[in-house]
Amino acid sequence: MLDFNFKNPTNILFGKGKIAAIKEYISAESRVLVLYGGGSVKKNGTLDEVLAALQGYTLFEFGGIEPNPSYETLMKAVELVHKESIDFLLAVGGGSVIDGTKFVAAAALFEGEPWSILEQGGATVQKALPLGAVLTLPATGSEMNCTGVVTRKSIQTKLPFQSPYVYPIFSVLDPEKTYTLPVRQVSNGVVDAFVHVIEQYLTYPVNAKVQDRFAEGLLLTLIEEGPKALETPMDYEVRSNLMWTATLALNGLIGAGVPQDWATHMIGHELTAMHGLDHAQTLAVILPNLLDVCRQSKREKLLQYAERIWGITDGDAEQRIDGAIGQTRQFFEQMQVKTRLSDYGIGKDSIPDLLAQLKAHGMVQLGEHQEITLDLSQTILERSL
Amino acid sequence: MLDFNFKNPTNILFGKGKIAAIKEYISAESRVLVLYGGGSVKKNGTLDEVLAALQGYTLFEFGGIEPNPSYETLMKAVELVHKESIDFLLAVGGGSVIDGTKFVAAAALFEGEPWSILEQGGATVQKALPLGAVLTLPATGSEMNCTGVVTRKSIQTKLPFQSPYVYPIFSVLDPEKTYTLPVRQVSNGVVDAFVHVIEQYLTYPVNAKVQDRFAEGLLLTLIEEGPKALETPMDYEVRSNLMWTATLALNGLIGAGVPQDWATHMIGHELTAMHGLDHAQTLAVILPNLLDVCRQSKREKLLQYAERIWGITDGDAEQRIDGAIGQTRQFFEQMQVKTRLSDYGIGKDSIPDLLAQLKAHGMVQLGEHQEITLDLSQTILERSL
C-alpha cells in the first residue's frame, strides 16, 4: 500500500425528504445563491422543494449552468456573488452544476484572473465560499469530493482543479430525485462512475487489499444495478444503490494508498471540448482501447479484474484480458453508450487536432506510469475510430 | 437501503514516518497532554518519536491508561487537564487509550458528574477538547470514529458513549508501529475488527449492495491477512492491510444505511467487566452462539455470508449456516483466541450475575430486532460454556 492522507468532511444526508434538513447546515443570516442547470429542477419540483426548505433566508438564483460548465457562464455567477454579497452557495443538480458551483466558490474569493486556478501550474486556491449540494444525477461524485472541471468554450479547453476548500459542507442524496432523469443521463452516470473506479483500480498492484475489494464492490454493484435503472426507472432500491455507489466511486476513499491513472479522462476531456461529446461517451470510447494498449503495464490488475468482476478464469492470460476488455465494452453498450468515435461522427482527420490540444494542455505523459505519450494517445485514438 | 446521515471528519495520516507531520494539525501555542497506556510506547520508542515531533509545544504526559480504560484513572487525567489548563489531547496507543482520551476530552468540559455521559439515558456531550491520535494497535476503529467505551471498576460496569465532538482531528496510522505488538494483541485486534464488521453486516437484508460488498471486502481481508500477521510479524504490507481494514471496520461507513446488531458487544462487555476477559475474547465466545441462536432472523444474511465469505454452496440452508458459523469459530481459534467460556475458567454459576448486570444496564432487548431478551442472552451464554 502506498502512503496517503485521507480526509473527507462532507456531510451526506441520504434518503427520502432529506432536502427539508438543509436548514440545519446553513446559518440563518446567510445570503444564499441557489445555482442550477437547464431548468429540469424547475420542472420536476426539486427547486421548489429546496426554496421551501430555505424559507426565511435571503435567496438569489442563478440558472443556466451547462453540462460541462463553462467559464464564461460561471464568471457571470461570480459577478452576481460580488454584487449581492452572497456568502453561501447551494448547487441543485448533477456534477456539472456542483463542479461549476465549486469554481464559483473559489473564483469569488480569488485575487487575480480566476482562469489561472485551472491552468496547469496555475494558482492554488487559498479560500472559497462555503457550499452545499442537492444532487439530482448520480455520476461524477462531485457531491463528496474537492474536484471541479470547467470548460472555457472560447478556447475549447476543459480542465480540472482541486482544493480542500471546495468540499461541499453537506450533500443531499435523495434517490427519488433521480426518477425523472432522461435515459441518456442515467446511462452516462453509470458509465462515468464505472470509469472513475477503473481509473483508481486498474493500474498496478500495490497489495492494497481493501481498496481493491472496495473498488470491485462498486464495479459489481454498477454492473448489477445499472441495467435495472433503465428497465425499471422508478425502483427506489436500484436508484439508492446507484446513487451511493457513484458517490463512493470518487470521494477519495478507494484512491487512497493506490496508484491512479486518469488518462482516459484527460483524453476524453479533449473530445468533449472539441466535439461536444458527453463526458461518459468519451470515457466509453477511450477506456477499452486504453486498456488494450496498456495491457502489459496493467497486466496483473487486468487479470484480477477479469476474474473478480467478470468471472473469467478460462483461457490463457491474453485471452482472459481480451475477455475482460470485451465485457467492459459490452457493458457500456448495454448501458446504451456507444463505444466508437465513428458512432459520434468523428473520423481520423480529427486526431491531429486532439493531439495538439493534449500537447497544449501539458497532457504528454499520462497514466500511472506516465507512459502515455502523445504517440500512445494517438494509437489509442486511432483504435477508437 | 435505510436512510442515513454520514460524516467523518478525521484526517488519516497513513504510512511510515507520518508521526513527524502531526505538528501541522496542532496549533503552536497549544498546551498538549500526551496520554498513553502501560508503557510499551515508552519502551519501543514511539513516545519519544511523538515528543520529538512536538518540540516547542508545552507538553504534559499522562501514562497508565488500562486496557478497558477505567473511569477512576481517566478522572485523574481530567484533574490534570484542569490543573494545567490543557487545550489539546494526544492519545498514543490502541483503542483503550484513544477511547479513554475521548472520555477525558468530553469529561473535562462537562458540567456535573461525568459518569452520566456513560449511563443509559444519561447526559449528552455538548463540547469536548480537541484530540488527535497516534495508533499503535489496529483493532477498535476508535482512531476514526466518535465512540468511546469506559469501565467503572468499582461497580464492574463497562459502557459506551458517542459524540460527534470526540472524532479525532487526526490519526496517524504507521504500520511499522505495530511490529512490536504481543501476539495476543494482534490476535485480539483481528477478531475485534472482524466482529465489528459482522455486527453491521449479519443482520437482515435491506438491499444495500455497496455496504454488503464493502463489509465482505473487510472480512475477506482479515481472513487472508490475519493469520499472516502471526506468521510473519514484520511484514509491512500485511500490517498495512490489517491497519486500514480495522479502521474502516468501524468508522461509520459500512454501517451507514443498514441495520446494526451490537448484541455480541453488549453481552461481551459484561464478561469483561465481571471476569476481566479481553474484549476480543468475549466477542469470540459470544458471536458463534449468538449467530446460532438468531439463525432464523439472520437467515438470509447468514446464507450470503456462507457463500461470499466462506465459499459454502453445498448442502441445504441449515447446513450452510452451520458451516459458516463453524468456519467463524475456527477462524477465531486459528487467530489463537479461544471461543468457550470454559477456556477462560468461567462456569454456569456465573451466568445469573451476568444476566443481572445486563438487566441493570438496560440491555434487555438487544440486536437489530430487539429480540435478544434476557432469556435469549441466557441461552447464548449457556451455549457458550
Cβ–Cβ gap A14/B7 under 8 Å: no
CB contact under 8 A, B210 and A12: no
User: Which residue has 490540444 as its cell numbers?
Assistant: A357
CA distances from A339 to A288, A294, B53, B130 (A): 8, 18, 53, 51
Domain residues of chain A, as ranges? 11-177, 182-383
Cβ burial of A199 (10 Å; 0-12, 13-18, 19+) is buried
Q: Does A179 touch chain B if contact means CB atoms closer than 8 Å?
A: no
Residue of B nearest to A15 (CA): B3
- Give the residue from chain B lying closest to A22, CA to CA: B5
What are the angstrom distances between the C-alpha of A242 and each of A192, A230, B208? 12, 12, 10
Whether B55 contacts chain A with CB within 8 A: no
CATH of segment(s) A11-177? 3.40.50.1970
pLDDT tens for each residue of A263-291: 999 999 999 999 999 999 999 999 999 99
| Residue A370: pLDDT over 90 | yes
Chain B contacts in chain A segment 130-169 (CB below 8 A): none
With beta carbons less than 8 A apart as the criterion, state whether B225 and B236 touch: no
Query: Nearest Cα to A340, choosing from A287, A281, A385?
Result: A385
In A, which residues are within 8 Å of B210 by CB distance?
A: 217-218, 221, 241, 244-245, 248
Gap between the Cα atoms of A125 and A119, Å rounded: 12
Chain A: closest CA distance from residue B88 (Å): 20
CB contact under 8 A, A14 and B8: no
**For a pLDDT cut of 90, what percent of chain B falls above it?**
95
pLDDT of residue B291: 98
Q: Do the beta carbons of residue B320 and residue B257 sit within 8 Å? A: no
Please give the pLDDT value at position A70: 96
In sequence order, the 6+-apart residues with CB closer than 8 A to the CB of B80 are: B33, B60, B62, B86
What is the per-residue pLDDT for B354? Answer: 97
Q: Which of A127-136, A288-297, B155-164, B369-378 has the lowest mean pLDDT?
A: B155-164
What pLDDT band is residue A120 in, cutting at 50, 70 and 90? Answer: confident
pLDDT tens figures, B26-84: 999 999 999 999 989 999 999 999 999 999 999 999 999 999 999 999 999 999 999 99
Query: pLDDT digit string (tens) for B300-356?
Result: 999 999 999 999 999 999 999 999 999 999 999 999 999 999 999 999 999 999 999
Single out the residue of B229, B140, B241, B193 nearest to residue A214, CA to CA: B241
Q: Where are the alpha helices (DSSP H) in chain B?
A: 40-43, 46-53, 71-84, 95-108, 183-201, 209-231, 236-249, 263-275, 279-293, 299-310, 317-334, 351-360, 374-383
Hey, are the CB atoms on B217 and A220 less than 8 Å from each other? no
A203-220 CB burial, b ≥16 within 10 A, e <16: beebebbbbbbbbbbbbb
Minimal Cα–Cα distance from B212 to chain A, Å? 8
Whether A292 has a pLDDT exceeding 80, the answer reads yes
Closest residue of chain A to B253, computed from CA coordinates: A248
Contact yes or no for B9 and A13 at CB 8 A: no
Helix (H) or strand (E) holding A107: helix A95-108
Average model confidence (pLDDT) across chain B: 96
Instruction: Write the DSSP assignment of A148-180 as a string of letters.
Output: EEEEEGGGTEEEEEE-GGGS-SEEEE-GGGGTT
Please determine, for residue B88, whether its predicted confidence score (pLDDT) is greater than 80.
yes
Average pLDDT over residues A21-39: 96
**Tens of pLDDT, residues A95-109:** 999 999 999 999 999
What is the band of A121 on the pLDDT scale with cuts at 50, 70, 90? confident
Distance from CA of A146 to the nearest CA of B (A): 14
Q: Write the class of the CATH domain A182-383.
A: mainly alpha
Q: Chain B within 8 Å of A205 (Cβ-Cβ)? A: no
* Set of chain A residues whose Cβ sits within 8 Å of the Cβ of B1: 14, 237, 240-241, 244
Q: How many residues does chain B have?
A: 385
Q: Are A209 and B216 a contacting pair at CB < 8 A?
A: no
Structural contact between residues A307 and A320, judged by C-beta atoms closer than 8 angstroms: yes
ipTM for the whole complex: 0.96
B213 and A218 within 8 Å at the Cβ level: the answer is yes
The alpha carbon of residue B209 is apart from the nearest alpha carbon of chain A, in Å, by 6
Best of A12, A169, A213 to mutate (most B CBs within 10 Å, chain B)? A213
Interval B82-102 mean pLDDT: 98
Contact: A244, B210; criterion CB under 8 Å = yes
Q: Tell whether B311 is within 8 A of chain A (Cβ).
A: no
pLDDT higher than threshold 90 for residue A210: yes
Mean pLDDT estimate for chain A: 97
Separation in Å, CA A327 to CA A185, A305, A383? 22, 11, 17
Q: How far apart are CA B40 and CA A68, in angstroms?
A: 55
d(CA A315, CA A306): 11
Joined together, the cell numbers standing for residue B376 give 435469549
Share of chain A above pLDDT 90, in %: 95
- At B157 the pLDDT is 87
Mean pLDDT, residues A139-162 taken together: 93
Shortest CA gap A244–chain B (Å)? 8
Task: Give pLDDT tens digits for B136-193.
Answer: 999 999 999 999 999 998 988 888 999 999 999 999 999 999 999 999 999 999 999 9
Contact B260/B203 with Cβ under 8 angstroms? yes
Q: Return the CA Rg of chain A.
A: 20
A-B contacts at Cβ under 8 angstroms: 122
Residues A377 and A355: beta-carbon distance below 8 Å: yes
Q: Phi and psi at residue A11, in whole multiples of 5°?
A: -90, 115
- pLDDT for B122 equals 77
HSE toward the beta carbon, residue B367, CA cutoff 13 A: 22
Rounded distance between C-alpha atoms, residue B202 and residue B287, angstroms: 11
Render A271-322 in DSSP notation, one character per residue.
HHHHH---HHHHHHHHHHHHHHHTTTTTHHHHHHHHHHHH---SS-HHHHHH
Give the pairing of strands A31-35 and A88-93: parallel
pLDDT tens profile A303-346: 999 999 999 999 999 999 999 999 999 999 999 999 999 999 99
